[in-house]
Chain A
Amino acid sequence: MIDLVFLIVFPLIAAVLLLVVSKDSIRDALVKISALLIGIVSLMTLFLYYNTGALYFPVGYQQVSQIIFLVEVFLALFILYLGIKYRKSLAVVLILVQLGLLAYFEMFCSEALHAVQNLFIDQLSIIMALIIGIIGSAIAVYAVGYMGTYHRNHPEVQDRRRTFFFMVFLFISSMFGLVFSNNLIWVFLFWELTTVCSFILIGYSRSEEAVNNAFLALVMNLLGGIAFAGALIYLAGIDPSGNLFEINQLISAGQALAIVPAVLISFAGITKAALMPFSSWLVGAMVAPTPVSALLHSSTMVKAGVYIIVRFSPVLSGSFEGLIIAMIGGFTFLLASAIAISQSNAKKVLAYSTIANLGLIVACAGIGTYKLVWAAIMLIIFHAIAKSLLFLCVGTVENRIGSKDIEDMAGLIVRMPKIAVMMFIGIAGMFLAPFGMLISKWVAIEAFIDAPFGIIFVTILAFGGSITVLFWSKWMGKIISITQYGKRVEGNIRSEKWFVLYLLTSLTVLVCLIFPLISSVLIEPFVLSVYGFTTRLAQDNIMIMVMMLFLLMIMPLSMLFYRNGAKELPPYMGGRPTTPDMKFAGSMGIVRESSFSNYYFEQYCGESRLLMAGTGLCLGLILIGATLLLGVIV
């Protein structure tokens, strides 16, 4: 148990230290050492607990509960202060509502509560802890180098790196708390903490856009927070003894008792995971420095949202409310993928792809058969790794060439070969066989066929999957096109950045190689313990996938064979003699420059149009769900 407490408390201590230390070099060292420690300890949890099943630890409640309440009130007052300062009335109203709910809960319900087993660990928690501990802290290390460059390139932004790293480590701490807490009241605290952390990190630059987007994120997450608080009050109402506040007891209490809180908390999860209609906050969060985006998208924040839905999927499974949640996820997957086609800003493409994948995870968890939960957990793992890699690659490119537009990345393989190869692997990891995401999509298709109403989701996956192919491949094509005029500009990237990039790249490949092991050690026991059944890929298929992966890895060796000997000619330009930088003589002797850009299908996949459709569709679904829920409560 001590390591669980360590993982929650240590980042907190590190965060406070980072807030105090003002010297750059000491802070950098501190970040690296803390990240290393967190990484090691989270790996330790894997080796200590992988075969112990779910373990529950009693932690004294009475003492902690007062602190928790105080922290929550402090957070609320802090938001209230900022809300008033920036005159954001909606945020003020929402936080007042939440404060009211909290006060009500504290006054009338908390007296008799005595949930005992407040901390726990099981295989799902281990997986989440590894993602947070390894990827989260790797991003923190990367941020050391990035933020230095960021402040050199953006002199207008006030240097608040102390707050920045404080928030990053607080974020990591609260994520650990979230995945290790068995008590819903504790989960709620950490839930609110992640909301506040993301709020401050998004608003880091304090530009008008950043502040607005930060408040957008805040408002949407507060909506979820209110639903969460509602779930707590409801639970206190039906079970004054407080046993049901323990997640494991709540889940085993059965659908009749647990469905209302499960749906309310899943709604909170939907806001946090930025599914439609709440997707705009995650896209808006792009104004933050790139490590923040990487953090929000891969290991923290949105993963908290899907984690809690996966946690509750046994309750949702088979219910009509679960179907509605799954449909919100499914439509989000389809529409967000389509919107990604129309974007040329790399970070926005990544953002919409994140939203799409989270939608898919929620779709799996909402239907919640054992196979689908398996697929959902696989998706969480693969997505976290590949997406963090991609964000950090884009961040590095942006620092170097000053643009995050995909069109400006033409010929990246010539200009920044190593980064381009890493980006290539990251993109391949997102959609190609035999890499990770595709394995999960494949299992999801198979599992949806046998699930109730699965036909809807099979269709969504068939169409959505092919859309994904389009926007990833055209990006891939852009970075690997060989521009004859490109100059290499890869030098002078700090070594810890390289370290993190190499680490994530090798993780992307490694996880594909050892996914059967991950499945058998962590995911299958978890699914088995929850459902009594489990699933895995057929042995033959795993063999074939591994063979394909090896084939993919040895194919580049053929480049050595082709390197010399072949005659090289410029591309065919309709017979016009063309210079290496693609200029040619047009009519009347005018020199023309040729440039080409990808298709974006604005007329079909325009952002505003599809967002409107998605918002309408998903809002309608939420309303139906809310009506159903009211029916259950009343």
Chain B
Amino acid sequence: MSYMKKSPWIMHYDASSCNGCDIEVLACLTPLYDVERFGIINTGNPKHTDIFVVTGGINEQNRAVVKNIYDQIPEPKVVVAVGICATSGGVFRECYNIMGGIDKIIPVDVYVPGCAARPESIIDGIVTALGVLEKKRQLMKEPAGKTDVTGGEKK
């Protein structure tokens, strides 16, 4: 039995978003959506984090920051890109200083599109991320050499 799925702690980072998606992320914490029902806590500290929630298209100023935060999160970890800018750069895609999507810098596991992404879809994205998180945990536990032997049992 794993507890990874029951207690996902998130860290939210605004990588040059227009703040639309950020407001929606915060809306998830309000009584109306109350993500703490699922044990989700916004920790604000990479070393306590399981799920890294990033909004915005990443510019020259914060690409190093996103990479740094990602590196500081202990395994297993998943990244959720929230909003269309985070998934592809959105309307800013062609801007001179925009990387165009989180996955240009760090590996992304779940994409939540929308401009801005609705709280329901954000929650849905995070719940999807839980599955990925659990898979990564199992992978982490298996010694590297044995992956093939047990690989058949995994879905």
- In the complex they form, whether A and B have CB atoms below 8 Å apart is answered with yes
Query: Could you list which residues of chain A lie within 8 angstroms of chain B, going by C-beta atoms?
Result: 567, 569-570, 572-573, 575-577, 585
Complex Cα distance A577/B61, Å?
12
Q: Is the interface of A mostly helix, strand, loop or mixed?
A: loop
Q: Are B47 and A572 in contact (CB under 8 A)?
A: yes
- A572-B46, A575-B68, A585-B64 known; 20 new pairs, CB 8 Å cut-off, are A567-B74, A569-B47, A569-B71, A569-B72, A570-B72, A572-B45, A572-B47, A572-B72, A573-B68, A575-B13, A575-B46, A575-B62, A575-B65, A575-B66, A575-B69, A576-B64, A576-B65, A576-B68, A577-B64, A577-B68
B50-71 contacts to A, CB under 8 A, are: 62, 64-69, 71
Tell me which residues across on chain B come within 8 A of A570, comparing CB atoms: 72
B101-150 contacts to A, CB under 8 A, are: none
Q: Which residue of B lies closest to A575 (CB)?
A: B65
Q: Which residue of A lies closest to B71 (CB)?
A: A569
Complex Cα distance A374/B50, Å?
56
B34-49 contacts to A, CB under 8 A, are: 45-47
Query: Can you list 6 contacts pairing A with B, beta carbon distance less than 8 Å?
Result: A569-B47, A569-B71, A573-B68, A575-B13, A576-B64, A577-B68
B68-120 contacts to A, CB under 8 A, are: 68-69, 71-72, 74
Complex Cα distance A298/B9, Å?
53
Complex Cα distance A570/B47, Å?
11
> Which of A573, A575, A576 is packed against the most chain B CB atoms within 10 Å?
A575
Tell me which residues across on chain B come within 8 A of A567, comparing CB atoms: 74
Query: Could you list which residues of chain B lie within 8 angstroms of chain A, going by C-beta atoms?
Result: 13, 45-47, 62, 64-69, 71-72, 74
Q: How far is the CB of A256 from chain B (nearest CB, A)?
A: 70
Q: Which residue of B lies closest to A569 (CB)?
A: B72
Tell me which residues across on chain A come within 8 A of B13, comparing CB atoms: 575
Complex Cα distance A575/B13, Å?
10
Complex Cα distance A572/B68, Å?
9
Tell me which residues across on chain A come within 8 A of B66, comparing CB atoms: 575
Complex Cα distance A585/B65, Å?
11
Q: Which residue of B lies closest to A587 (CB)?
A: B61
Q: How far is the CB of A192 from chain B (nearest CB, A)?
A: 63
Q: Which residue of A lies closest to B75 (CB)?
A: A567
Q: How far is the CB of A217 from chain B (nearest CB, A)?
A: 52
Q: How far is the CB of B143 from chain A (nearest CB, A)?
A: 14
Tell me which residues across on chain B come within 8 A of A572, comparing CB atoms: 45-47, 72
Tell me which residues across on chain B come within 8 A of A575, comparing CB atoms: 13, 46, 62, 65-66, 68-69
Q: How far is the CB of A556 from chain B (nearest CB, A)?
A: 24
Top 8 A-B pairs, shortest CB-CB distance:
A575-B65, A575-B69, A577-B68, A575-B68, A577-B64, A569-B72, A572-B72, A572-B46
Q: How far is the CB of A361 from chain B (nearest CB, A)?
A: 46
Q: Which residue of A lies closest to B65 (CB)?
A: A575
Tell me which residues across on chain A come within 8 A of B71, comparing CB atoms: 569
Complex Cα distance A569/B70, Å?
12
Q: How far is the CB of A377 from chain B (nearest CB, A)?
A: 49
Complex Cα distance A570/B72, Å?
8
Tell me which residues across on chain B come within 8 A of A573, comparing CB atoms: 68
Tell me which residues across on chain A come within 8 A of B46, comparing CB atoms: 572, 575
Tell me which residues across on chain B come within 8 A of A576, comparing CB atoms: 64-65, 68
Q: Which residue of A lies closest to B61 (CB)?
A: A587
Tell me which residues across on chain A come within 8 A of B47, comparing CB atoms: 569, 572
Complex Cα distance A567/B67, Å?
18
Complex Cα distance A575/B66, Å?
7
Q: How far is the CB of B66 from chain A (nearest CB, A)?
A: 8
Tell me which residues across on chain A come within 8 A of B68, comparing CB atoms: 573, 575-577
Complex Cα distance A575/B47, Å?
11
Tell me which residues across on chain A come within 8 A of B65, comparing CB atoms: 575-576
Q: How far is the CB of A573 from chain B (nearest CB, A)?
A: 8
Complex Cα distance A484/B68, Å?
18
Complex Cα distance A100/B95, Å?
95
Tell me which residues across on chain A come within 8 A of B72, comparing CB atoms: 569-570, 572
Tell me which residues across on chain A come within 8 A of B45, comparing CB atoms: 572
Tell me which residues across on chain A come within 8 A of B62, comparing CB atoms: 575
Complex Cα distance A573/B71, Å?
12
Q: How far is the CB of A310 from chain B (nearest CB, A)?
A: 52
Tell me which residues across on chain A come within 8 A of B74, comparing CB atoms: 567
Q: How far is the CB of A588 from chain B (nearest CB, A)?
A: 11
Tell me which residues across on chain B come within 8 A of A577, comparing CB atoms: 64, 67-68
Complex Cα distance A577/B47, Å?
15
Q: Which residue of A lies closest to B64 (CB)?
A: A577
Q: How far is the CB of A74 from chain B (nearest CB, A)?
A: 70
Tell me which residues across on chain A come within 8 A of B69, comparing CB atoms: 575
Q: How far is the CB of B33 from chain A (nearest CB, A)?
A: 27
Q: Which residue of A lies closest to B69 (CB)?
A: A575
Complex Cα distance A575/B68, Å?
6
Complex Cα distance A575/B45, Å?
10
Complex Cα distance A504/B68, Å?
46
Complex Cα distance A587/B77, Å?
30
Complex Cα distance A585/B67, Å?
15
Q: How far is the CB of B116 from chain A (nearest CB, A)?
A: 23
Complex Cα distance A585/B68, Å?
13
Q: Which residue of B lies closest to A573 (CB)?
A: B68
Complex Cα distance A569/B74, Å?
10
Complex Cα distance A572/B71, Å?
11
Q: How far is the CB of A90 from chain B (nearest CB, A)?
A: 60
Q: How far is the CB of A171 from chain B (nearest CB, A)?
A: 54
Tell me which residues across on chain B come within 8 A of A569, comparing CB atoms: 47, 71-72
Complex Cα distance A569/B47, Å?
10
Complex Cα distance A575/B74, Å?
15
Q: How far is the CB of B83 from chain A (nearest CB, A)?
A: 19
Complex Cα distance A585/B60, Å?
13
Complex Cα distance A572/B46, Å?
8
Q: Which residue of A lies closest to B62 (CB)?
A: A575
Q: Which residue of A lies closest to B47 (CB)?
A: A572
Complex Cα distance A116/B75, Å?
82
Complex Cα distance A569/B45, Å?
14
Q: How far is the CB of B102 from chain A (nearest CB, A)?
A: 14
Complex Cα distance A593/B74, Å?
26
Complex Cα distance A567/B76, Å?
13
Complex Cα distance A576/B45, Å?
13
Q: Which residue of B lies closest to A567 (CB)?
A: B74
